[in-house]
Amino acid sequence: MKQDVFQARHEAEWTALERWLDLRARPPAKQRTHDAEGLFGDLDFPAAYRRVCQHLALAQRRGYSVLLIDRLQDLVHRGHLVLYRPHPPRWHAAIQFFAADFPRLVRRHWRSMGVAALLFFGSFVGVVVALQVRPELAHSLFEPAELAKFEAMYDPAQPEAKLGRESGSDVKMFGYYILNNVSIGFRTIAAGFFACIGSVYVLLFNGLFLGGIAGHLTAIGYGGPFWRFVAGHSAPELLAIVISGGAGLQLGMAMLAPGRRSRGRAFVEAGVDMAKLALGVFAMLVFAAFVEAFWSSIGWMPDPVKFSVGGLLWLLIGLWLWRGGRGAAHAA
């Protein structure tokens, strides 16, 4: 078949598809009374697209002109982007993700999570214990000015003051915690890319830093206000740090030990899990920021309430990560 005959025969289909692609975006599909101005229905699009794909293959095989092939290529490319577009986010999928998929994913990477927990809680507890035995070690961890700042924040002699901050209202601190803590969580995850080094560093650094503050304040007798402040948000925040560290470690393992896959393939597979873990970490840290800003800072709350709420959160989040998604019909 000569090019002109071919073109004359199919021109109508091509212009219809072109127009349909132009019109697809406006007005939005939901408000449309009929599909794309009566060209053809949305349901007919895949068939129309596949026919044009076939025309392109024919045109290439028969050596038709470059411009015609370019035009069909362009049409096919636009159709391809529409046909294979990602579906819009669904509430059901989001609930399913947080209720089941995320805890399952954390358990599936239990080795990385275990190592991350060991690095973080190990260094944390180690420093706390060390500072009880030899309090002067605090001066090799922190500058004197830093120590003075921490002491001012948790001074038991000022019971009226807001707990755990120098200044700033609850809502302002909420914004600050979102920006600061979630960014740290995300960076911890990505930092594992180079052979886990970044994630290990962040885990150890945070373990030593937070353990140093906790140990020092406890050693000098300021432990009361401090533990009262951190009890509430400690569970979501610390566990989120551990999970982001674990996510970074599993990403780094794709470089260190890709197993029977190529490194590129291993990275792509680790990347999918990394993104999902990052979403979970994001949710946990937003929750932690909320608790930290609006609950932990309340000074007058009696100790039993503070500590039982903190304990309850540890229990609930622990249960969620341990049992969430067990026995569901399909695996993650």
Of 140 and 167, which CB lies nearer to other proteins in the complex structure?
167
Instruction: Decide: is 283 part of the binding site for other proteins (CB under 8 A).
Output: no
193 in contact with other proteins (CB under 8 A): yes
User: Of the two residues 76 and 235, which places its CB atom closer to other proteins in the complex?
Assistant: 76
Q: Is the dihedral of CA 194, 200, 203, 204 positive or negative?
A: negative
61 belongs to the binding site for other proteins (CB under 8 A): no
Which of 42, 74, 155, 303 binds other proteins (CB under 8 A)? It is 74
- Residue 132 CA from chain centroid, whole number: 36
Q: Does 56 bind other proteins (CB under 8 A)?
A: yes
> Mask: binding to other proteins, 246-275, rule CB under 8 A, as x and -?
-----x------------x--xx-xxx-xx
For other proteins, which is the closer residue by CB, 74 or 155? 74
Binding of other proteins at residue 196 (CB under 8 A)? no
Q: Does 67 bind other proteins (CB under 8 A)?
A: yes
CA distances 48 to 13, 17, 20, 26, 52, Å, are 7, 7, 10, 20, 6
Residues in the site for other proteins, rule: CB under 8 A? 1-5, 7, 49-50, 53-54, 56-57, 63-68, 70-71, 73-74, 76-77, 80-81, 84-86, 89, 168-169, 171-172, 174-176, 178-179, 182-183, 186-187, 189-191, 193-194, 198, 251, 264, 267-268, 270-272, 274-276, 278-279
